[in-house]
Amino acid sequence: MPDTSIPEIVIGRLPIYLRTLSRMAAAGKVYTSSHELGQHLGISSAQIRKDLSHFGEFGKQGTGYNISFLTAQLKRILKVDSVQDVALIGVGDLGRAIAHYQGFLDRGFRVTALFDNDPEKIGTKIGGLVIQDYERMETDIRQQEIRIAMLAVPFTEAQNATDILVKAGIQAILSYAPISIKVPAHVHVEYIDPVLHLQKMTFFLE
């Protein structure tokens, strides 16, 4: 069971730290400090040290953090030290873009199953994967032991698809559907709605 005592906002910053560390490593750096990380991210060094202290002591006074070691520890904490299989539900314009995206695998995720309810799409292929009918969703996800799903369906289909995913044993859903979905307490949902972010930004326009 995940440690629910750790604030969700802290968990949300860990992937940002991981991304920055990966870029530092790619640039040839071996060590970094909370101060340097903070400069890259616009976060105080004290906040970074406090966030990391929830999970252990990863740095040494005077030398800072070994980037390779801290990267490995964050991947372990986030459970992306091995590749997680993902089911993609909905293969319209957005779903196709997600299915074609090449940036998941090197960050711990792999789309391994595609589902849609459009008869014209079912049976066609994207990147070597055959789009399956909703009717196969529960069975296929259970057989493949997939625990993560991405939902890229119209809002009118979102709850129905979610209910099937829950029955299939999905524990985490990334939803692009512009609606709040209802799930049991053990299923974690994250939402991505670009329109909401655009509407937030327009508040700051002069």
* Residue 137 included in any domain: yes
38-90 pLDDT, tens digit per residue, is 999 999 999 999 999 999 888 777 778 999 999 999 999 999 888 999 999 99
- Angle between helix axes 45-53 and 34-41 (nearest 10 degrees) is 110
SS3 call for 2: coil
Same domain, 91 and 38: no
120 confidence band (pLDDT: 50, 70, 90) = very high
Q: Alpha-carbon distance 19 to 183, whole Å?
A: 29
In this prediction, residues 96-121 reach a mean pLDDT of: 92
Supply the range of the domain harboring residue 13.
Answer: 8-77
Global pTM reads 0.83
Relative to beta strand 59-60, strand 64-66 is: antiparallel
Same domain, 64 and 114: no
Alpha helices in the chain (DSSP H): 8-26, 34-41, 45-53, 67-77, 93-100, 137-144, 155-168, 194-202
Q: Alpha-carbon distance 141 to 10, whole Å?
A: 30
Same domain, 90 and 180: yes
| Averaged confidence pLDDT in the chain | 92
Residue 110 confidence (pLDDT): 93
Same domain, 17 and 71: yes
8-20 pLDDT, tens digit per residue, is 899 999 999 999 9
CA distances from 169 to 92, 141, 142, 174 (A): 24, 8, 7, 15
Residue 29, CA atoms < 13 Å, CB-side half-sphere: 19
Same domain, 93 and 166: yes
* Residue 95 included in any domain: yes
Q: Which CATH number do you get for residue 187? A: 3.40.50.720
| Final residue belonging to a domain, choices 48, 77, 106 | 77
Share of the chain above pLDDT 90, in %: 82
Range of lowest pLDDT (143-147, 164-168, 196-200): 196-200
